[in-house]
Chains A and B, each alone.
Chain A
Amino acid sequence: MLKYLARRLSATFLVITLVSMSVFGIFAVLPMDPAALTCGKACSPAVIEANRHRLGLDVPVHVQYGRFVKGLVVGREYGEGAAKFECPAPAFGYSYNRHECVTTLIAEAFPVTLSLAVGAFILWLSVGVSLGVLAARKRNEWQDRGATAFVLIGTSLPTFISGILILLFVALKFNLINPLEMGRWVSPLEDPVAWFRSFIFPWITLALLYAAGYTRFTRSSVIEISSEDYIRTARAKGLNERDILRKHTLRAALAPIVTLAGLDFAGLLGGAIITEGIFNLPGLGRLSIRAVLNDYDLPTILATTILAASFVVIANLLVDILYAYIDPRVRVAS
């Protein structure tokens, strides 16, 4: 097991390194000059060159990458003298549009995205799994048909429709949120009620989409496992239906859902661009989309991309380890 873990960890590290290298490489060949983007319209070549030097863009790309990695570990300084600016480790770079260390920007945005992802995750997992189990148990009865209708609505409504509908016709119509307060981050540690109120509708929006998929997946998984021979064995032993479902069916039926849930959650941690946009949440998704659309803020894009990829890769690793815990066959094979 330890050997397996070591192998998987190094593989994970390698993937993240490769992702960061390729993103770095892509930006190096982009037909725009980051140094030119740093100053306004009236810009002299001398200022651009000075900025280029200040931002460390005047050296070959592999040296830039080396500095980037070094910055991640020990922090980084930009410029000299009075214009000196320091980003402490882990330094993802310096946003020349926002005049801020990228790490600071991310540190501000991440709690928002984390709140959004965790709440939505809990909501969709509990709704999706319980509705899926119910539909499977009451197959072809009205509960099942109701669940199917929910799945249909949930999967066919994109978040940019459902989010706006929820915002306009529920949240704002019934004065459930103050539009002036939208987009203001409240820490759950300071004011849990306000935090909850600012996130409940984004949670519902995101959860609606995911819960629909999980309902469908859980339903078919439970139905499939219910017809397994070992479920018949459990029944032949004299177990009651509740224990058969709880101990025998769900254990096997939910195993694949662990994989799905881990990856979906990790994907969300990279930022939910549309939902954050609709509800004006200052999370990673909004940070990325602004960096791309408005600012050409390459260091920020670089950081959010690497971060999003890392979440997925790390989640993959965690899911695999968890899976070995769930399924003894995997445990022995590894």
Chain B
Amino acid sequence: MTLKPFLEVKNLNVAFPTEDGLVQASNDISFTVARGETLAVVGESGSGKSVTSLAVMGLHDRKRTQITGQAFLNLDSGPVDVISADDEVVRKLRGKAMSMIFQDPMSALHPYYSIGNQLIEAWALYNEGDKAAGKKRAIEMLDLVGIPDAAKRVDEFPHQFSGGMRQRVMIAMALINNPSLLIADEPTTALDVTVQSQILQLIREMQKEFNMALILITHDLGVVAEVADRVNVMYAGKIVESGSAEDIYYRPDHPYSIGLLNSIPKIGELESKRLVAIPGQPPSLINLPKGCSFRARCSFTDRVAGNLCATTAPTLENKTTEHFSRCHLTEAELVKARTEIGGR
């Protein structure tokens, strides 16, 4: 039996009005995540990864953001659309039904309050009980995320913790009320490489422990390969490819994904070989040009019949049942492209 996905995002658009025009940061995003499942969202800076998740969390300032579309949380009590729901309704889902951890643990904790204080505060929002009970739970959580000597360290302040330890604290705080959905926004980017895999491992363990739906936002394809069930590749505010981790790795169906994979250095290659980069810059998100957003950086536009890439924006179409791509190239051409630039 396939479970109904916990989060269902449908045609989500997020735009920021600015003096220069409307910045279309997230463009017609649809995806689902079930409990126990890990969805990785990949893309470069400014591709709309974080903007989309912040919209799901209701963390955008509504006065300065235009959000349309739907994002349903399928709670036990029934589905709630967090986009159209009242601010107060969404607030009471934050920290309880859905939680988020952020990129930079150095600045994500309040410097003036002890770790315990901040954990207890999160706990007290959704639990009855006195401070002692909250503290007991806080220590329990710190213990669970691998903070040594948690009973003592609970009274210490964020600046007394290392980056990796702070991220563990953030995870403990996010999970203290057993959320069903965890959004991890580049949780390892700001950390040392050696600590990165520990934190990733921890997130995986916690996901199993709490049976959570996990959205992992990252630009590290190595991380994706390690943990993801499914992958959304984002470019210029749109999902350009979506599929299982295997599909994306072995049968990438979008020139951008192919380029991304190709830019990873491979062990065993000649040291002198230069890394392959995707040429050019992502387009400005104000007044996106007609046609395909990736066109200016794509080396295969000439293989598409007519001037289609410049005139018509490709739609997200399924190549196989669970594998979607936003490209005008035919499957045969894509297979050719894969071997040409990827050598896979």
Interface residue ranges, A against B (CB under 8 Å):
228-230, 232-240, 247-248, 251-252, 255, 326-329, 332
Asked whether A237 lies within 8 Å of B107 as measured between CB atoms, the reply is no
Asked whether B107 lies within 8 Å of A230 as measured between CB atoms, the reply is yes
B104 at the interface (CB under 8 A from A): yes
Q: Which of B104, B112, B157 has the most CB of A within 10 A?
A: B112
Asked whether A229 lies within 8 Å of B95 as measured between CB atoms, the reply is no
Report the minimum CB–CB distance from B185 to chain A (whole Å): 10
Residue of B nearest to A248 (CB): B110
Asked whether A229 lies within 8 Å of B125 as measured between CB atoms, the reply is no
Q: Which residues of B contact A252 (CB under 8 A)?
A: 110-112
Asked whether A328 lies within 8 Å of B110 as measured between CB atoms, the reply is no
Q: How far is the CA of A255 from the CA of B96 in the complex (A)?
A: 31
Q: How far is the CA of A233 from the CA of B110 in the complex (A)?
A: 9
Q: Which residues of B contact A247 (CB under 8 A)?
A: 121
Report the minimum CB–CB distance from A36 to chain B (whole Å): 60
Asked whether A329 lies within 8 Å of B94 as measured between CB atoms, the reply is no
Known pairs A233-B109, A238-B94, A239-B121 / 13 extra A-B pairs, C-beta < 8 Å: A228-B107, A230-B107, A232-B59, A233-B102, A233-B170, A233-B173, A236-B100, A236-B102, A237-B95, A238-B95, A240-B91, A247-B121, A328-B157
B99 at the interface (CB under 8 A from A): yes
Q: Which of A234, A238, A255, A332 contacts B159 (CB 8 A)?
A: A332
Asked whether A234 lies within 8 Å of B110 as measured between CB atoms, the reply is yes
B288 at the interface (CB under 8 A from A): no
Report the minimum CB–CB distance from B181 to chain A (whole Å): 12
Q: How far is the CA of A247 from the CA of B91 in the complex (A)?
A: 17
Q: How far is the CA of A89 from the CA of B184 in the complex (A)?
A: 68
> What are 17 pairs between A and B in contact, CB < 8 Å?
A228-B107, A229-B102, A229-B104, A229-B107, A233-B109, A234-B110, A236-B57, A236-B99, A236-B102, A237-B122, A238-B96, A240-B91, A252-B111, A327-B111, A328-B112, A329-B111, A332-B160
Asked whether B59 lies within 8 Å of A236 as measured between CB atoms, the reply is yes
Q: Which of B59, B88, B93, B107 contacts A235 (CB 8 A)?
A: B59
Q: Which of A237, A251, A332 contacts B173 (CB 8 A)?
A: A237
Q: Which residues of A contact B88 (CB under 8 A)?
A: 240
Given contacts A237-B95, A252-B112, contact A329 B157 (CB under 8 A): yes
Asked whether B126 lies within 8 Å of A238 as measured between CB atoms, the reply is yes
Report the minimum CB–CB distance from B116 to chain A (whole Å): 12
Given contacts A230-B111, A328-B112, contact A238 B157 (CB under 8 A): no
Given contacts A235-B59, A238-B126, contact A230 B100 (CB under 8 A): no
Asked whether A328 lies within 8 Å of B111 as measured between CB atoms, the reply is yes
Q: Which residues of B contact A329 (CB under 8 A)?
A: 111, 157, 159
Report the minimum CB–CB distance from B140 to chain A (whole Å): 18
Q: How large is the interface on B (under 10, 10 to 19, 20 to 34, 35 or more residues)?
A: 20 to 34
Q: How far is the CA of A230 from the CA of B157 in the complex (A)?
A: 14
B75 at the interface (CB under 8 A from A): no
How many Cβ-Cβ contacts under 8 Å join chain A to chain B?
72
CB-CB nearest 3 A-B residue pairs? A238-B95, A238-B94, A229-B107
Q: Which of A232, A327, A332 contacts B112 (CB 8 A)?
A: A327
B344 at the interface (CB under 8 A from A): no
Q: How far is the CA of A240 from the CA of B102 in the complex (A)?
A: 20
Q: How far is the CA of A229 from the CA of B114 in the complex (A)?
A: 16
B85 at the interface (CB under 8 A from A): no
Q: How far is the CA of A108 from the CA of B95 in the complex (A)?
A: 60
Asked whether B94 lies within 8 Å of A235 as measured between CB atoms, the reply is yes
Q: Which residues of B contact A233 (CB under 8 A)?
A: 102, 108-110, 170, 173
Q: Which B residues between 289 and 342 are near A, CB-CB below 8 angstroms?
A: none
Q: Which of A230, A238, A255 contacts B110 (CB 8 A)?
A: A230
Residue of A nearest to B117 (CB): A247
Report the minimum CB–CB distance from B24 to chain A (whole Å): 22
Q: Which residues of B contact A332 (CB under 8 A)?
A: 157, 159-160
Q: Which of B94, B113, B159 contacts A237 (CB 8 A)?
A: B94
Q: Which residues of A contact B170 (CB under 8 A)?
A: 233
Q: Which of A230, A252, A326, A327 has the most CB of B within 10 A?
A: A230
Q: Which of A239, A251, A328 has the most CB of B within 10 A?
A: A328
Q: Which residues of A contact B91 (CB under 8 A)?
A: 238, 240
B208 at the interface (CB under 8 A from A): no
Given contacts A229-B102, A230-B111, A329-B111, contact A236 B159 (CB under 8 A): no
Q: Which B residues between 95 and 139 are near A, CB-CB below 8 angstroms?
A: 95-96, 99-100, 102, 104, 107-114, 121-122, 125-126
Given contacts A237-B173, A238-B91, A328-B157, contact A230 B125 (CB under 8 A): no
Asked whether B125 lies within 8 Å of A239 as measured between CB atoms, the reply is yes
Q: Which residues of B contact A238 (CB under 8 A)?
A: 91-96, 122, 125-126
